[in-house]
């Protein structure tokens, strides 16, 4: 009953920015590598800790065990409570786990939207029964859906975040961020925007809100074309739920696979087997993964592209006022008591990582799908910004922003 997700889109081309077939990215970790074994251990722990509040990471038994388990792998050797399940970009490790752009109210025309969402109940995991798992692999529809909380909540744990990226539309997070940033007025605009200090004009059709909002929407689709070319034409990487099925069959002597030995020494396998009587990866979504290859993550590529656009239009050093975090029960927001300033640039980077890695928390993507997807999306956006800069008649120095690797880039009109 389930169809493949648009493989023909991998052959599409575009005239804005860089054509998808001229883009490259590193190969995904191989099946037998230590890297994929480490990523799989992380995914098991993310599944087991879905109901642990972000504010409790490292202060309770499950996440403490996750940190110790992950430190055996090269990729995660330095993981600690402040870096567990987080991204690597500038700003990711500053302040609360979730970006302020997932907490702050969104000005939406004549109304304001509070960011409270319908999320699944605790323990609502799926595809841990082998026959159910196999039926989903064969294209069957799930027999039941998620059980949803009756009260909308602020996002406070991995399960909530996983559901956010289950139900969102492509550029929703970045439209919200743009509307929030626009509410701060000229003071939040990038220093290179000529209208920031212009006494008798303001930006609108060019270098103003309509310009930005249409660009955020458009870049989402352009970045998906790049992602689809990589997914279908080059990498065709298996999903985590499939790899977990290989682990299950290997450990139950149903088959033999070249899986790295370090994975079998991980404590998390005992934890999963003790809770679910098997080694399948508990899925947050009843239907499991989407029906397109895993690498790169589409959410991550969109995140990389859209946040790059936002960083080009807004002052990355602007400090967000009155930062908030969700209470542990998700019913309210409380003031963030940390001493670090939360800036636009850092919180946009964190937003990108939250959305990308939220799919990992749900069990449908690997860390490398997400991290490398951010870089691919950034490249797509930089190409579009280079074309866009040529169309302006205003005198301005170009778009300047900080890349995900921490370096700065200026896109000049010339």
Cβ(365)–Cβ(297) below 8 Å: yes
Q: pTM here?
A: 0.97
Catalytic residue among 126, 248, 260, 299: 299
Cβ(278)–Cβ(128) below 8 Å: yes
Which CATH number describes the domain made up of 7-411?
1.10.606.10
- Please give the Cα distance from 26 to 293 (Å, whole number): 15
Residues of the chain with pLDDT under 50: none
Helix 268-276 vs helix 34-48: angle between axes, to the nearest 10 degrees?
40
Which contiguous run of DSSP H or E holds residue 106?
Answer: strand 106-108
- Please give the Cα distance from 369 to 168 (Å, whole number): 19
Digit-coded pLDDT (tens) for 219-259: 999 999 999 999 999 999 999 999 999 999 999 999 999 99
- Please give the Cα distance from 337 to 175 (Å, whole number): 27
Q: Nearest CA to 181 among 91, 111, 101?
A: 101
Catalytic residue among 126, 292, 339, 412: 292
The domain spans of the chain are 7-411
Q: Nearest CA to 213 among 66, 332, 313?
A: 313
299 is catalytic: yes
339 is catalytic: no
Record the tokens describing residue 177, joined without a space. 């961020």
Q: Is 113 helix (H, G, I), strand (E, B) or coil?
A: strand
What pLDDT was estimated at residue 413? 79
Q: Nearest CA to 377 among 211, 171, 238?
A: 171
What pLDDT was estimated at residue 399? 96
Q: DSSP character for 10?
A: G
């Amino acid at each position: 009953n389930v169809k493949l997700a648009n493989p023909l889109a991998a052959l599409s081309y575009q005239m804005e920015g860089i054509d998808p077939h001229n883009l490259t990215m590193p190969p995904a970790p191989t099946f037998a590598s230590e890297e994929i074994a480490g990523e799989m251990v992380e995914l098991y722990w993310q599944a087991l800790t879905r109901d642990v509040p972000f504010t409790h990471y490292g202060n309770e038994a499950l996440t403490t065990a996750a940190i110790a388990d992950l430190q055996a792998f090269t990729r995660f050797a330095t993981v600690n409570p402040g870096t567990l399940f987080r991204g690597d970009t500038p700003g990711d490790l500053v302040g609360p786990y979730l970006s302020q752009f997932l907490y702050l109210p969104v000005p939406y025309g004549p109304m304001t939207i509070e960011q409270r969402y319908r999320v699944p109940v605790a323990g609502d995991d799926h595809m841990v029964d082998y026959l159910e798992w196999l039926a989903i692999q064969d294209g069957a529809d799930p027999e039941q859906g998620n059980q949803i909380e009756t009260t909308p909540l602020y996002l406070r744990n991995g399960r909530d975040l996983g559901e956010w990226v289950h139900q969102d539309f492509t550029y929703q997070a970045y439209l919200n961020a743009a509307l929030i940033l626009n509410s701060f007025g000229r003071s939040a605009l990038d220093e290179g925007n000529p209208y920031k200090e212009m006494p008798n004009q303001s930006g609108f059709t060019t270098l103003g809100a309509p310009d930005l909002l249409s660009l955020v929407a458009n870049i989402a689709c352009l970045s998906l074309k790049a992602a689809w070319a990589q997914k279908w034409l080059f990498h065709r990487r298996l999903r985590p739920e499939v790899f977990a099925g290989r682990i299950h069959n290997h450990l139950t002597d149903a088959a033999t696979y070249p899986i790295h030995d370090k994975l079998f020494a991980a404590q998390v396998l005992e934890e999963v087997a003790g809770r679910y009587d098997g080694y399948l990866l508990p899925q947050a979504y009843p239907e499991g993964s989407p029906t397109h290859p895993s690498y790169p993550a589409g959410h991550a590529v969109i995140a990389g592209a859209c946040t790059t656009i936002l960083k080009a239009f807004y002052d990355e050093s602007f400090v967000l006022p009155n930062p908030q975090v969700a209470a542990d029960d998700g019913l309210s927001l409380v003031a963030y008591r940390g001493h670090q300033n939360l800036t636009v640039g850092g919180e946009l980077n964190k937003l990108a990582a939250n959305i990308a890695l939220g799919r990992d928390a749900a069990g449908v993507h690997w860390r490398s799908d997400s991290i490398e997807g951010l870089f691919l999306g950034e490249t797509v956006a930089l190409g579009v910004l280079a074309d866009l800069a040529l169309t302006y008649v205003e005198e301005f120095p170009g778009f300047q922003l900080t890349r995900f690797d921490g370096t700065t880039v200026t896109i000049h009109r010339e």
